[in-house]
Amino acid sequence: MPSILFINRVYPPDSGATGRVLEHAARSFVKAGWDVTVLATAASRESAGETVQDGVRIFRVGILFSKKTLVARALGYALMIPGLLLKALRLPRHDVVVTKTDPPMLVVIGPIIKATKGSRPIHWAQDLYPEVAEECGVLPKGGFLAGILRRLSTWGIQRHDLTLAVGRCMAERLVGRGISSEAIRVVPNAGLEGEIVPTPCALPRERNALRETHGIGDAFVIMYSGNMGRAHDFTTVIGAARRLQEQGEKNILFLFVGEGPEESLIRREVFARKLENIRFLSPQPAATLSESLGTGDLHLVTMKEGMEGLVVPSKFYGVMAAARPTLFVGSKDSEVARMILEHGIGQVIAPGDDAILAEVILRYRADPDLVKSEGNKARVALKALDLSPMILMEVMQILPVMKALD
């Protein structure tokens, strides 16, 4: 039986988008007849140790980690890498070892495991560091530390047998780093959305508990659902909301569902500008995700300028599953923008162009059939994407001896 080891900071039931994506892939390898192990960190001392979930053996390593300050987070990430490496070296040899990008710089341990145990290493790039830290202002752009980390990251990636990028834009960034295009495959973070069932969006409204509970009624809802992180552009959204309020548009609501480091900043801007057309809701339970996403008539996905290819927002695929158009505020070169333009499932707005965003919202509100048709096309386009068979196929190609399982 072929064996594979995935290494990542989190794995369900611990929260984190990278963990949910990994769980989907791990289960697919179990179904294909692989011996699957996951190495992750423990959310608490009590959760450290070995467990088995859905045929996946999980080892959780207890490592001190705090998100209270940037220094504490950086120190925690730095300690995770040797802690995960030492545990990986003590585990039995696996045919394939897959490192993700959580924590940042985890890529450096792949070549070490290859040299000591002979495993075939794959790097699954969810983000590109240190570029993300530079663009978010965590590290000085082009600084000494960023330069060292970039050279170290490139060294690690070049010594993997294969690198998986979550978008074409990220693959292009990797090539720009000096990684051979022949060693890169594009595998989107899609396929986790099977539990999302589209709900009708046309007037008159179908019964929706979230709308009823929070008094949303028949408002035309532009929803941002997910992490409000430093990589995302919210200035353009707030500007569009201000314009629509000043124009007297009273039945349009911007609904932020989730949390994140930028939430307090957004709330301060909403308060300072006295915006009555923006509301906030806490993250909704996974069991009600279909209804939550269905509350939005349009969905927002945003990315700050310069972030294209460094991150690819996975929330986009949930929006597609919910059969809703996406308004993407970000570069036209990003994977999300390319998908929207190729399939006709939304609009791409340049960061800072809040006037165009407001205009586009009014256009969709006036045309319910457009909302419905683009949403349906999004759902159809999603069916062609699923990371599980893509990853399995790529792994099979670097392990010729395993081809009998294909």
Give the largest Cα separation in the chain, rounded. 67
Separation in Å, CA 315 to CA 21, 97, 319, 377: 12, 27, 7, 17
The per-residue pLDDT for 404 is 40
CA atoms within 13 A on the CB side of 124: 26
**Cα separation of 183 and 173, whole Å?**
13
DSSP string of 271-337?
Answer: HHTT-SSEEEEPPPPGGGHHHHHHT-SEEEEE--TT-BTTB--THHHHHHHTT--EEEES-TTSHHH
- C-alpha triplet 330, 317, 312: angle, nearest 5°: 40
Q: Is the dihedral of CA 54, 28, 126, 336 positive or negative?
A: negative
Q: What CATH code is assigned to 3-191+386-405? A: 3.40.50.2000
DSSP annotation of 207 reads: P
The per-residue pLDDT for 192 is 78
The per-residue pLDDT for 68 is 60
Give residues with Cβ within 8 angstroms of 21, minimum separation 6. 126, 189, 192, 314, 387
Q: Are 189 and 301 in contact (CB under 8 A)?
A: no
List the structure tokens of 252: 């349009």
The per-residue pLDDT for 74 is 66
**Cα separation of 121 and 162, whole Å?**
7
- What is the domain class of 193-382 according to CATH? alpha beta
**Cα separation of 335 and 142, whole Å?**
25
**Cα separation of 265 and 270, whole Å?**
9
Q: pTM value?
A: 0.88
Q: Where are the domains of the chain?
A: 3-191+386-405, 193-382
The per-residue pLDDT for 285 is 82
Neighbours of 21 (CB within 10 A): 24
3-state helix, strand, coil in the chain (%, to 5): 45, 15, 35
Same fold, 3-191+386-405 and 193-382: yes
**Nearest to 99, CA basis, from 49, 45, 34, 164:** 164
The per-residue pLDDT for 69 is 62
Rg of the chain over all Cα atoms, to the nearest angstrom:
22
Whether the ω angle into residue 261 lies within 30 degrees of 0, i.e. cis, is: no
The whole-number mean pLDDT for each consecutive block of 10 residues of the chain, a chain of 406 residues, reads 93 86 91 94 80 95 67 70 93 95 91 94 94 90 93 95 94 96 91 79 63 85 93 96 95 94 94 95 85 92 94 92 96 96 97 97 95 94 82 73 41
The per-residue pLDDT for 406 is 40
